[in-house]
Structure 1
Amino acid sequence: MSGSDTSRYDVVVCGAGVAGLATARAMSELGLRVLVVDKQHRPRPVAKGEVLQPGALRVLRRWGTARALERRNAVRLGRLVVRGPAGEALMALDYGRLPEGDRSLVAHDHLTILDALSEDLGPRVELRRGVLVEEALRDSAGRVIGVLLAQENRRSTVHADLVVAADGIASRLRRAAGIDGRRLDYPHRLLSFEITGAAWRPEDFSAYLTARGLRLAYPLPGGRVRLYAQVTPEELRGLDSAQLAAWASEMLRGTPALEPLAGPLRESLPTRQILPVFRLLTPRLSVPGLALVGESAYAVHPMAAQGMNTAITSADCLSGLLAEHLDRSGALSPGVVDGALRDYERRQVPALAHTARTSDNAARMVTDLSWRGRLLGRRAVRHTGANPRLLRAVTYNMAGLGPVRLTPLDRLHQIGLLPDPRAHRVPDA
């Protein structure tokens, strides 16, 4: 590889997914010069990261990104519902009971959300694709001061006061920083379908609790439906088209509420995607000069629709703390950055840990197929759904407006081992 050059920015963001673009957008609000790099030449269409919670939408409204999504016909959803196979509501999180302005989720295609985030990055943000981050650069004290990039036949050195690792679950920068990032896989996969031409589609974000696990459906723009089906890692291996069609018919027989999707589902079988499902929570979010944002630090089961949302709120938190440490000149320095990084870690580590627990509990409630998991999960759904106080707490947490912490006593109320005398004591929104 030949050729090299050196440049300087205030911030270099590694990764141009939701986490990276949100970080660049947040940093542009501070008037900083930002470089965003991504190893992919173009964003990949993936069947995830399509539902935005109110906590993230608060940030996107401030940036104007929410309006950009509305112009692209985003779908508003009012509830997140756990249902039985026939469609009966077992536990409904009613977002209409949240504070004014926070009373809906928004659904759109992942690529459209990326496009909306890219729309107004500002003149001080530069985005380069097809660029690989080879390593982090350090000074004599070990502080991260930039990155070494490779693009085609050239290497370049970029110096920056702040490097942001938004490079995903296999983050090279996280490993270089020596931060533990063990991915824990769930024992199932999610099969994703994009269904078009259906005469029926769900009106909300609906998780169906079936004998074979989770079936998750929600509407997308253009009359489309996103459908996820929980499968074992080997369930579809080696099936031909006829066997796949038989599998789909069997799945729908186990979820009668989704029977209206039968014909369009069969047509969508050739374009299905199978997604690994995992969780990750790092014990740290920074080292001097470097911050982790998004899946480099935190990943959860998509059933609770939390991963993309925490990436956006983490980016906003990081920029807000950086703004607090800036002096009147607005100039960055290693001292300013590292002070903000210490505050970022103190604030976000417990916040992400709480959201991770909430997401994991919600996912296991509907995906654990062991006899113990089925028993506890169904009891938790039923008793939480019948308890207005707990239902409000769970809704706030899912919406990203918490944390509202549940005590060990609350957990006993959730599975019906103790009656809750405070069940109807619901504070005002």
Structure 2
Amino acid sequence: MTAGQRTTGQRPAGPVDADIVICGAGVAGLAAACALGRLGLDVLLVEKQRYQPPVAKGEVLQPGSLNLLHDWGVLGALEARRAVRLNRLVARRSDGSELLAMDFGQLDTERSWMLAHDYATILECLGESLGPTVRREGGVLVDDLLRDEHGRVAGVRTGGGGREIRARVVLAADGRSSRLRRLSGMTADPVAYGHRLLCLELSGKPPVADEVSAYVTDRGLVMVYPLPDDRIRVYVQVAADELRKADRARLRQWCEALLADVPAIGPLAGALQDGLDSRQLLPVFQFRAPSLVRPGIALIGEAAHGVHPLAAQGMNTAIGDAAALASRLAGADLASRTAADAALRAYETERLERIKGIHTMSHNAARMMTSTSRSGRVFGRRLLSGTARSGRLRYLTTYNMSGLGMRPLGPLDRLVQFGVLPERRAAMPLLGAR
């Protein structure tokens, strides 16, 4: 046994309380419950919080996620709640001129757009789509793992050891600081970026296009997109201590400096000043766990990976985790430990490479658009402009962002981006295009 295994209780194999116990009811946990419940599995979803606090995260769904949410019966509920369609992701200069526009309408998919809504509403719609074989309990803190006589994870212990829940498979969906990841002997090393994101929610229906606009400025990233009910989300890159102990006068000065640095967001001036009182300051991390499974347990969502929110990939990757895991468990005899663990290993093999590609793409995008050094700004803007000049690379980048698949750019593509090599290949890759 590993050191992590020695701390946990052991129980012999026997009757189970659920086929699957999912620990954590964020997007990853709820998506897994949706997908596994549709298989007719007996699923128990437990969450330590009774109510979801409001938080600005996970608001933009990519086309690949929309297809899955449609299959799970979630998409209609989001659309009924006035989710906003976003057709493009555009990198812009501070004056608003385009550096690189990714138009999702060119993709060969039934839902060629992004969708934006509040994180709490996305959770609500996922929760409404859980099947009849899914049970859900809030206010349940999982504090240990159960193991059978072979050391295989066989369930969880909750409430300070007062309750044991036996399951054929345990899913850790308990976030970046996952307790279950540590108890299972798996590791991750979250690394903080050198900046934070100031998050503002604006109202008053100022003019904003149906797209995500990411402004690449000398002060770093500024990102703007619409939300339902005439609201606008704004993220502004700030240094860790930039607004520490700032009073109202200091915040007003900071806002005036922001508008001077990014004149394109001038129409939001009044709303920005009004929104400062309800600001959130968010730390930003990146990581990916080197392994996703141990016998009887698997990591999904932020327990397994984290990326910069710029590319809107974190929540969407979690939804992909849930779908991939369900597809592997669908044909497995979960009563057989050997078969169940083989399915978990197949999930790990499939997802590790995909997560690596998404992580690399998101980190590269973050470096291009958040650098505040002169060399970093020049490097990033040259890459963005070079991608925009090539229809093929522009399409590939849009496709990779969409969640429909991953075709990483190679060394020759990088030389085309820098203008060292001319673009000699077809304008569109063989991915299917409208």
Q: TM-score, normalised by structure 1?
A: 0.95
Q: Contact 2:42/2:134 (CA < 8 Å) preserved in 1?
A: yes
Matched, 1:92 2:101: yes
Distance 2:300 2:20 in 1: 13
**Secondary structure, aligned partner of 2:200:** strand
Distance 2:64 2:134 in 1: 25
Match in the other structure for 1:345 = 348
Distance 2:223 2:403 in 1: 20
**Secondary structure, aligned partner of 2:242:** coil
Distance 1:332 1:118 in 2: 27
Pick from 141, 149, 161 the counterpart of residue 132 of structure 1.
141
Amino acid in structure 2 at the alignment position of 1:322: L
Q: Compare 193-202 and 89-98 and name the one that shifted more.
A: 193-202
Pick from 68, 81, 84 the counterpart of residue 72 of structure 1.
81
Pick from 87, 92, 114 the counterpart of residue 83 of structure 1.
92
Matched, 1:57 2:74: no
Q: CA deviation at 1:199?
A: 2.7
Match in the other structure for 1:270 = 277
**Secondary structure, aligned partner of 1:397:** helix
**Secondary structure, aligned partner of 2:350:** helix
Q: CA deviation at 1:426?
A: 4.5
Amino acid in structure 2 at the alignment position of 1:406: L
1:171-217 Cα shifts (integer Å, max 9, x gaps): 00101111120001110000000001143223211100111000000
Q: CA deviation at 1:90?
A: 1.0
Match in the other structure for 1:303 = 310
Match in the other structure for 1:398 = 401
Shift >6 Å, 4+ stretches: none
Pick from 194, 197, 206 the counterpart of residue 199 of structure 1.
206
Q: Contact 1:387/1:423 (CA < 8 Å) preserved in 2?
A: no
Q: CA deviation at 1:398?
A: 0.3
Structure 2 residue runs of 5 or longer lacking an equivalent are 1-14
Q: CA deviation at 1:35?
A: 0.8
Match in the other structure for 1:281 = 288
**Secondary structure, aligned partner of 1:36:** strand
Match in the other structure for 1:113 = 122
Q: Contact 1:33/1:124 (CA < 8 Å) preserved in 2?
A: yes
Cα 1:66/1:291, change in 2 over 3 Å = same
Match in the other structure for 2:187 = 180
Counterparts of 1:154-193 in structure 2 under 5 Å?
155-193=162-200
Match in the other structure for 2:417 = 414
Match in the other structure for 1:3 = none
Paired residues in the alignment total 418
Cα 1:245/1:7, change in 2 over 3 Å = farther
1:325-351 Cα shifts (integer Å, max 9, x gaps): 24xxxx643222101101001100001
Q: CA deviation at 1:155?
A: 1.6
Distance 1:92 1:166 in 2: 34
Q: Contact 1:198/1:260 (CA < 8 Å) preserved in 2?
A: no
Q: CA RMSD in A?
A: 1.4
Q: Compare 193-202 and 384-393 and name the one that shifted more.
A: 193-202
State, as a whole percentage, how many aligned pairs show the same letter. Answer: 49
Q: Compare 196-205 and 278-287 and name the one that shifted more.
A: 196-205
Q: Contact 1:78/1:103 (CA < 8 Å) preserved in 2?
A: yes
Distance 1:209 1:333 in 2: 53
Q: TM-score, normalised by structure 2?
A: 0.94
Distance 2:335 2:223 in 1: 45
Structure 1 residue runs of 5 or longer lacking an equivalent are 1-5
